[in-house]
Structure formats: structure tokens, C-alpha cells
Amino acid sequence: MKIKEVNDYLDYLQYEKNYSKYTILNYKDDIEEFIDYIESEGLEFKDIVYSDIRFYLMYLKDNKHDDNSSIDRKLSSLRGFYKYLANNNIVQTNVFSLVNGVKKAKKLPRFFEYNELEELFNACNLDNALGQRDRLILEMLYATGVRVGELVNVKIEDIDESSRTILILGKGNKERYVTYGDYCSEILDLYLKEGYAKLNINNSPYLFLNSKGGRISDRGVRYILDQIIKKTSIKKNISPHMIRHSFATHLLNAGADLLSVQKLLGHESIKATQIYTHVTTDRLKEVYFKNFPRRLDKNLYYLFLLIKYIL
């Protein structure tokens, strides 16, 4: 679809907002789907009114059978697009600002247990360049909690090995430093000495390279993770964000405070980080009911006290 306003908006997301290619592709699909619908109804996307959006939502629900999460994402994409159009005087108002997101059940972030992460790490072959790179991808995602779009943009010059910090360019071109520990440092040293030297045939400044010596893409990382988990006994889907969830959840379970985790994740709002407190609360309940004696039946509790007294 060649619509100037759409292409200009996608360029804006890429060059000014620094969104990942994966995110931009989702925006593109959502916007083009809406414009296709509007044109099929004989309307012009610049002239839509509130009632047109309501009919579109009915179309997504009744005809396409989209779930609430998908509909909410599409509304978010279109809200951002029409805000851009309004700010550039292409439309008079952002009509999507009048539309609330659909209600959806809150999903707790899925994460890996530490033993599962160990199995993932051990599935990488450190005897070759690609295996070393893949292991470092896992180690760095888990050690820093960075987004996949941030990971693939890491350059060699961004890494300070003496302080074990990495300069990350996050959403909205905001910079932050993340830290990594011994395990990640060890694999990073190995990769830079061996694997990176073999892969970097084009003198690339980027840390993570594909087999042709170019910067690896977001989708490339997702494909690599899919291949790694197939070598394990883990029966879960994997994504870079799931490792990010694991990073945050494990920190909170170990006693880290929410504000520190917020800064490490690069969240603008504490609300985005608070979702992890639900996970840690569930874990606390699990520990409580598994270990606290007074949650038992009274007779079992007294038996527990008797055994403890005898011992």
C-alpha cells in the first residue's frame, strides 16, 4: 500500500521514535488493515468519524473474530497514527482519542525458572562462532533485561568491559546504562576473542552479527531462540521478552525494590513495572502454603509441633 501519510508516519517511528523494525511492521499491518476496511466501505481515511470506528470494531469482533488483546493493540496503533496526522494538520482531530480500549483479562508475564534458563544456556555449542554468539544473546538478555530491539543495536563501543556496563539506546532515543555480571562477561570475552573475529568479515561496529557478517535483526534473534529451545526438554514458547520478564521477576523475588527494577528495565512509568509484583505475590503465596505450618489442619499442626519438640 503506497499512501504517503502512512509511509511518512512509519519513517517517523523509525527515525525519530527509534521503534524496532518488528514494532513498526505491526503498526504498518494494523494501519493498512484499517485503511483497507475504510476504503471497502467507500470512505476516505482522513474523513472518518466516531461511528465509523465503532463499526470497524464490530467488524474485527464479529467478522474477523479478533480477541480483545488484538483489538486493543490495533486501536493503540491507530490512535498513534491519527495523533500524528492531527499534529501535522492532515486531519482536524484525532478521532481515535475518543475511543477507549476494550476490556481484556490481565495476563501475568510468563517467565523461565532459573533451572530452565540454565538448560537453555547449556544448549548452545561454544565450540563454534554461531554457538558462542547464541549463548551471548541469552546471557546478555537475561543479565541486562534489555529489549530485543535494544540488544541488536548494541555496538562494540557501547560496552565498557572494565565497569561491565553497556550504553543502551532505548525507546524515544533515551539512553541508559545496564550492568552485566560474571557469567555474561565470561561468554562476552570468549565471543570477542573467537566467534566475533570470525563473523566480522565486514568490519561491522555491531556486537551481534549473522553468518554473513551483517547486524542481526530482531527476527533473527527470535529465530535463534526458537532453534535453541528445540534442543531442550522445555515445553514453553520462547521470546526475547520472556527472558526480560525472567530478569525482572527473579530480581524482585530476590528482594530488589520496584524502583530499581523500573530503571533497569527502562520503563518510563512505575505502572509498567508493577505487573511483576503480581508474579512475586503469587510466588510468596506458594512458598507460604508450602512451608508455613499454621496453614495446615489443626491436628497436623499440633503433630508438627510435637515432632519439632521431640527432635
Catalytically annotated residues: 147, 171, 241, 244, 267, 276
Q: Cα separations (Å) of 114 from 94, 118, 120, 142, 199? A: 46, 6, 10, 10, 30
- Could you tell me the strand order of the sheet in which 165-169 lies? 159-160, 165-169, 175-179
Q: Which three cell numbers stand for residue 23?
A: 514494532
| CB-based contacts of 257, cutoff 8 Å, min separation 6 | none
Alpha helices in 152-217 (DSSP H): 182-190, 196-199
The identity of residue 104, as a single letter, is K
Alpha-carbon distance of 38 to 54, in angstroms, equals: 12
- 122 neighbors 139 (Cβ within 8 angstroms): no
Q: Which three cell numbers stand for residue 307?
A: 515432632
Q: Cα separations (Å) of 133 from 71, 122, 178, 231, 286? A: 37, 13, 19, 16, 37
